[in-house]
């Protein structure tokens, strides 16, 4: 199994070569360490690293600590889900997946309803394996698209009654898994 550092170094840096002063893997190391220490915002993670910059600079081989803007730009350029895909190889495999739907209340606006998403989560570690927006209230279509994104061989997939319908169960079985309601 690769180390976390090897996984992070394997993630392709989408930034142009010009002006790339800090390697992407180093920025991700700082952000992951900060997240492991409870930081939940990019600014909080940046501040966490800034407070420990003396040790981090030495370990990462940097001459100075990157700005918050540099970290933001690096993440903004990173393709959605790229970090998760990279870390998936490092995390232990889950045996049971759970499909869960949510309405994101903070996303509701006067002219549109709250954003609805379906998430595929590993039951034991709570690792989010995939997430899909529900278009037009069709949770089943979103669930079927979600199942296409991950291997299901030998896995048990659990879902609530609103999603656990014949096409869903057929897709899980077709991909080598089993369902649980």
* 21 pLDDT higher than 70: yes
- 151-157 long-range Cβ contacts below 8 angstroms, 24+ apart: 151/175, 151/176, 152/97, 152/176, 152/177, 153/177, 154/95, 155/94, 155/95, 155/96, 155/97, 156/95, 156/96, 156/97, 156/180, 157/96, 157/97, 157/98, 157/99
**Which of 39-43, 67-71, 121-125 has the lowest average pLDDT?**
121-125
| pLDDT for res 107 | 65
Q: How much is the pTM?
A: 0.61
* 61 pLDDT higher than 70: yes
| pLDDT for res 181 | 64
| pLDDT for res 108 | 65
Average pLDDT, the chain: 87
* 111 pLDDT higher than 80: no
In this predicted model, which residue has the larger pLDDT, 86 or 4?
A: 4
Torsion, CA 22, CA 69, CA 115, CA 168, rounded to 10: 0
Residues 130-144: tens digit of each pLDDT = 888 888 888 888 899
| pLDDT for res 72 | 94
**pLDDT (average), residues 161-170:** 88
Confidence class for position 167, pLDDT limits 50, 70, 90:
very high
């Amino acid at each position: 199994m690769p180390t976390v550092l090897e996984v992070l170094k394997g993630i392709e840096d989408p930034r142009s070569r010009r002006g790339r002063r800090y390697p992407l893997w180093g920025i991700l190391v700082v952000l992951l360490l900060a997240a492991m220490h409870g930081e939940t915002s990019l600014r909080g993670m940046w501040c966490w690293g800034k407070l420990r910059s003396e040790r981090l600079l030495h370990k990462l081989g940097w001459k100075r600590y990157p700005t918050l803007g540099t970290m933001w730009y690096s993440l903004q350029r990173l393709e959605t889900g790229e970090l998760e895909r990279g870390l998936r190889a490092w995390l232990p495999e889950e045996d049971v997946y759970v499909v869960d739907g949510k309405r994101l209340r903070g996303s509701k606006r006067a002219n549109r309803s709250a954003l609805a998403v379906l998430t595929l989560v590993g039951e034991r570690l709570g690792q989010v394996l995939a997430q899909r927006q529900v278009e037009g209230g069709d949770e089943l279509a979103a669930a079927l698209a979600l199942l296409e994104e991950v291997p299901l061989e030998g896995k048990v997939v659990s879902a609530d009654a609103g999603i656990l319908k014949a096409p869903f169960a057929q897709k899980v079985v077709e991909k080598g898994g089993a369902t649980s309601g």
